[in-house]
Amino acid sequence: MEFAIVDIETTGGAPKYGGITEIAVLIHDGESIIREYQTLLNPEQAIPTYITGLTGIDNFMVRHQPTFEAIHDELWELLHDRVFVAHNVSFDYGFLREAFLKVGKELKTPKLCTVRLSRKVYPGMKSYSLGRLCESQKIEIEARHRAMGDAKATAILFDRMIKSDYQIINQSLKKNTGEAFLPPNFPHSKFKEIPTACGVYYMQDEHGKTIYVGKAINIRERFKNHFSGQLLPSLKQKLKNEVFDLKWELTGSELMALLFETLEIKRLWPKYNYASKLPKRLFGLFHYEDYSGYGRFQVAKITKFFKPIESFFSMEEANTFLKTGIETYGLCPKLCGLRKVNCEPEDLLRCEGACYFTEKPKEYNTRVSEFMEKIKDGQKEILIKLDGRNPRETAYCMFESGMLSRFAYLENDELTDDIPSQLDLVTQVPETYYILRQYIHQIDPEQIQVLEINP
């Protein structure tokens, strides 16, 4: 049995879109290295500056080098009938498989990952990165982050492992454990523990810090998809390098998972949960009385210092709502902040002269009050009943002005008539209103109870 020990340098972390800038292959016959191959490659795309900073390979160095298409026949002969070996093998194999597909060949060879082999030979280490392993085994890396330097270090490490216990090779090749997609520092035993139920999960780094929070109907399948699919390849590679552990909380339903995920992201602010794609309720409708005694309205951004009488996702949505109120209750567009000057004569069919002081504040404010009462009527508290995490419990969520304000999982044999008092307060965040709007029509009306706002 012969092994092709491979290391590549690339323009980035996504096989489908990145290019290979350098490749090194060492052929090992089980006893020693019998052949070496190395070349720079023209990736036919620009090399990012941060990659140059890491590898030292720049655009000038590769502009006259061969393309992958030019060397693929020679490389195919080196790889196609040998066991493919690499440190974090999915990365190197993924790039080369994609590159061969582009020239009409499909790479299908057995694979061995020296990260996973080293876990079995050197159990208990905090990190199985190539640098840390070589440091612990006193293996010198001649040129770090260059293909031949890393390939030679990997070859020495591989040679030591197979000579200490050659059976691990046969066991690893014969046993289809399904580990190939997992992050190199994430144990397969932990993957087996991940539930297939609905809930929220927390990816953690080597220090136990949460770096990503997600939700899933099937947590185990969703975790696998983070690393085995083509979705968000840049994020996938970052997570793959940093994930050491996974925690989770079951939620019982997808709606509860979405709501809880939103709360947890706001609480923890994990570094790889980028700015939320959900719209935020950043604009509010405010009411005040001016020095002449007229009730006025103003649309503005919401701040923590002033509470609006109604909130909206956008300025446009707020203005549309306000215009409907103006037309319905005969309010003055200027006093509602939609005009900077007094109303024109043709507008007086709506405006009854408040901006000219011909309508007295008392008469005008009667209609202002009617508008505000209508707004309050649309702000009833809602209590929603959802499936619990097991048959013995039920989840209850309370929404105030559309936002989640309380929730809890209650044991069915401990329910009282005053369920809201049994729920836990949560920090209200605008995204929960958006989630409710998306799901409210999917919920059985019998699961929804409308409550009166407490005075």
The two counts, helices (H) then strands (E), for the chain are 15, 16
Q: For residue 450, count CB atoms less than 10 angstroms from its CB and return exposed for 0-12, middle for 13-18, buried for 19 or more.
A: exposed
Q: Which long-range contacts (CB under 8 A, 24 or more apart) does 27-31 make?
A: 27/2, 27/3, 27/78, 27/82, 28/2, 28/3, 28/4, 28/85, 28/155, 28/158, 28/159, 29/2, 29/3, 30/1, 30/2, 30/3, 30/162, 30/166
Which residue shows structure tokens 């499936």?
387
Q: How far apart are CA 299 and CA 286, in angstroms?
A: 6
Backbone angles phi, psi at 211, to 5 degrees: -110, -10
Asked about 145 being catalytic, the answer comes back as yes
Buried b (16+ CB within 10 A) or exposed e, 179-209: bebbbbbbeeeebeebeebbbbbbbbbeeee
Q: Which tokens sit at 320?
A: 């549309």
Q: Which tokens sit at 92?
A: 């190197």
Q: For residue 112, count CB atoms less than 10 angstroms from its CB and return exposed for 0-12, middle for 13-18, buried for 19 or more.
A: buried
Q: Of 145, 188, 207, 441, which one is the catalytic site residue?
A: 145
Which residue shows structure tokens 């013995």?
392
* Amino acid code (one letter) for 202: Y
Which residue shows structure tokens 């216990």?
165
Which residues are CB-contacts of 215 (< 8 A; sequence separation ≥ 6)? 199, 200, 201, 251, 254, 257, 258, 260, 261
Q: How far apart are CA 65 and CA 304, in angstroms?
A: 59
Q: Provide the Cα torsion 280, 282, 283, 287; round to 10°.
A: 120
Q: Which tokens sit at 93?
A: 């194999």
Q: How far apart are CA 213 and CA 269, in angstroms?
A: 9
Question: Is residue 190 classed as helix, strand or coil in its secondary structure?
Answer: helix
Q: How far apart are CA 181 and CA 267, in angstroms?
A: 30
| Helix, strand, coil percentages in the chain from 3-state DSSP, rounded to 5 | 40, 20, 40
Task: Catalogue the active-site residues.
Answer: 145
